[in-house]
Chains A and B, each alone.
Chain A
Amino acid sequence: MSEITVTHILFVSTALFFTGMYGLFTRRNMITMLMSVELILNSVNINFVAFNKYLYPGKLDGVFFTIFVITIAAAEAAVAIAIIINLYRSHHSIDVEDASELKY
């Protein structure tokens, strides 16, 4: 048994989450924003697995939550990239500030 407590893992996942959130705020490239969303989802996955190990070491519910999160992230990435390609075709840029027809 090692001395890694659950607090350490929560620190790591919190730092990853807010790194992703900073990227989502500051980048204008849509693909980089999508990558920040993937970072956020991964930090949540770490939390699920850590709490599963800590609360119910003999069960697998957190692992299944993580697997379904990965599933939904794959579907989300496919649809979002289709939208980005379509937007690039019509606007010739993937800057979020260029796609402002729905803004007003």
Chain B
Amino acid sequence: MSAIQILFWFLSGLALVSAIMVLISKNPVHSVLWLVMVFFAISGHYILMNAQFLAIVNLIVYAGAIMVLFLFVIMLMNLDKTSDPQKNWWMKLAGVISGGCLLMEMATLVRQAAEMKEKTVMMKEGSIGLIGNLGKLLFSDYVVPFEISSVLFLSAMVGAVVIGKKN
């Protein structure tokens, strides 16, 4: 078992356990902290899949910005003391059954896909995900989506201020 495999299994287990802990912890602050753990594990996967810049962006934007926003809102509303209201048990049962059935179905589909069998993902080698290659492509082929996303951000900023202010 090589080091890459050990890392992969460790990161996968960390991501899944943390994702389950996000859902079963009663305190919303603990949920946010477990979600940060999920993002760290996913960033590890990105580094293994050779997308280094994406890993850093994932950490900065998700774990750094969005999760801090969540924490601010949770502490602003004093949600950290009250436990989360739960839906009744049959709703949980329905969630488990429907989600579990779909999960089984997707897992069997992935297992049966003969096209993908024995195809490795070429981890650890190559420097295609570094920022130089990304920047060249971003300002040549992807310049229109880049500019459109700046307009999207402007509208989201104005919308957040307009919705959030007191009238």
Contact = CB atoms under 8 A, between A and B. Distances in A.
Nearest to A35: B35
Contact of A67 (B57, B74, B110, B124): B57
Contacts of A85: 73, 76, 164
Question: What's the interface size class on B, roughly?
Answer: 35 or more
Interface string B142-162: 100100010011001101110
Contact of B163 (A1, A7, A86, A95): A86
Chain A contact residues, majority secondary structure = helix
A53 B69 CA distance: 32
A39 B19 contact: yes
Given A26-B92, A70-B62, A81-B73, A60 B152 contact: no
Interface of B: 2, 4-5, 8, 12, 15-16, 19-20, 22-23, 28, 31-32, 35, 38-39, 42, 45-46, 48-51, 53-54, 57-58, 61-62, 65-66, 69-70, 73-74, 76-77, 79, 84-87, 91-92, 94-96, 98-100, 102-103, 106-107, 110-111, 113, 116-126, 128-129, 133-134, 137-138, 142, 145, 149, 152-153, 156-157, 159-161, 163-164, 166
